A = this chain, B = another copy of it.
Amino acid sequence: MKQTVPKHRDEIRIRAVPNRAPDRREDGPFLPLSATDKVKLGHLGEIIEFKTPGTEIVSQGEKSTFLYLLTDGVIEADRTLHSGQRQILAFYWPGDTFGLAENGVYVNSASALTQCTVYRFPTQQLATFLLEHPTIQEGFLVKAVHDLRNAQRQIIMMGRFDVTERLAVFLLDCSGHERYFDASRRVLTLAMTRYDIADYIGTSAEGVTRAFSRLETKGLLRRLTPRTLELTTAELKAFVDFSDS
């Protein structure tokens, strides 16, 4: 289920679009981090592997002892209400951090959707470490702002888009991750169920299926299997009405 792997060290990298216009642009969607900073962070953290999809890694309401950095796999963060309703707040991809806390308590749960490997950092040590390493702290600040922008995109999506448009936005987000979108064949592989997607875009599983068939009717995608889709990102982008993207 869970296993420490001290042998190899995956590359430490943080996925974020910077606030300011970058002077260099060689790092793709990741923040520039000096080699020594990566080493220092690597020493502070610990690598964990989660072999079984579905494993809950952090649990809403529990004491927040670690901040996590995903290096491989896909993770889902959700909150469950008293009524039992579940809202998925984000899907995390390699380079994303998770384990959001308030007053020392996790506000969301997070579960692996695939096999995952993560770094985890003890929150106490991390806090003092960041004060001593301002450039790394800046990285985490930029990452937090990046996540804030993403959350705002999602608010717009929920507030102004119908279910079909929301699904299109979601699929576009997914196809931004090379590991799961084969750009040459234009095939997207989904790591999540209809229920997961529904709880993310604020509808029901049936609603997701119907939105899929409407997109298919419009010729914006083709379902090869329920979990593998052939799609053209340009056409989907033309379909949704973001002022950015």
| Residue positions of A touching B, CB distance < 8 A | 17-22, 60-61, 64, 79-83, 85, 87, 89, 100-104, 107-108, 123-124, 127, 130-132, 134-135, 137-138, 140-141, 144-145, 147-149, 151-152, 154-156, 158-160, 199, 201-202, 241-244
Rounded to whole angstroms, the CA-CA distance of A27 and B102 in the bound complex is 16
Rounded to whole angstroms, the CA-CA distance of A134 and B145 in the bound complex is 17
Contact between chains at A130 and B140 (CB < 8 Å): no
Contact between chains at B83 and A241 (CB < 8 Å): yes
Rounded to whole angstroms, the CA-CA distance of A159 and B20 in the bound complex is 31
**What residue in chain B is nearest A138 (Cβ atoms)?**
B131
| The one of B21, B132, B154, B241 that contacts A81, using a Cβ cutoff of 8 Å | B241
**Apart from A20-B123, A141-B141, A151-B151, what are 5 other A-B pairs with CB-CB below 8 Å?**
A20-B64, A87-B155, A89-B155, A137-B137, A148-B148
Contact between chains at B81 and A156 (CB < 8 Å): yes
| A154 cross-chain contacts in B, Cβ below 8 A | 151, 155
Most buried by B among A89, A137, A148, A160: A148
| A244 cross-chain contacts in B, Cβ below 8 A | 102, 107
Rounded to whole angstroms, the CA-CA distance of A20 and B20 in the bound complex is 28
Contact between chains at B155 and A17 (CB < 8 Å): no
| A202 cross-chain contacts in B, Cβ below 8 A | 158-160
| A159 cross-chain contacts in B, Cβ below 8 A | 87, 158, 199, 201-202
**What residue in chain B is nearest A244 (Cβ atoms)?**
B107
Once A131-B138, A134-B131 are accepted as A-B contacts, the answer to whether A152 and B85 lie under 8 Å apart by CB is no
Rounded to whole angstroms, the CA-CA distance of A132 and B131 in the bound complex is 10
